[in-house]
Amino acid sequence: MTETDEAALARKADHDDYGIAYIKTFPDDLSKFKGLLDDFLRLVPAKSRILDIGCGNGSYVSYMLKQGHDAIGIDISLTMLEEAKKVVPEERLFLMDMHAMEKLGEGTFDCVLSITSMLYANKEYLPRVLKQVYRLLKPGGKFLLMMLEGEGDGLIKHSFGGSEVVTYTTYYQVNELKERVESGGFAIEQERLTNLVVSSHQEISLFCAKNPENA
The span from the CA of 215 to the CA of 92, in Å, is: 29
Give CA separation, 98 vs 32, 149, 176, 201, in Å. Answer: 23, 21, 21, 24
Chain centroid, CA 77 distance in Å = 13
Tell me the pLDDT tens digit for each residue of 174-186: 999 999 999 999 9
The vertex-50 CA angle with 46 and 53, nearest 5°, equals 155
Q: Coil, strand or helix: which one is 112?
A: strand
**Per-domain residue ranges for the chain?**
3-210
Of 201, 193, 3, the C-alpha closest to 99 is 3
The span from the CA of 178 to the CA of 182, in Å, is: 6
Candidates 3.40.50.2300, 3.40.50.300, 3.40.50.150, 3.30.930.10; correct CATH number of 3-210?
3.40.50.150
Tell me the pLDDT tens digit for each residue of 134-181: 999 999 999 999 999 999 886 666 554 555 656 678 999 999 999 999
Q: Which residues, in sequence order, are bridge partners of residue 54?
A: none
* Residues recorded for the chain: 215
Q: Coil, strand or helix: which one is 61?
A: helix
> What global pTM score does this model have?
0.85
The span from the CA of 126 to the CA of 122, in Å, is: 6
pLDDT for res 5: 44
Share of the chain above pLDDT 90, in %: 63
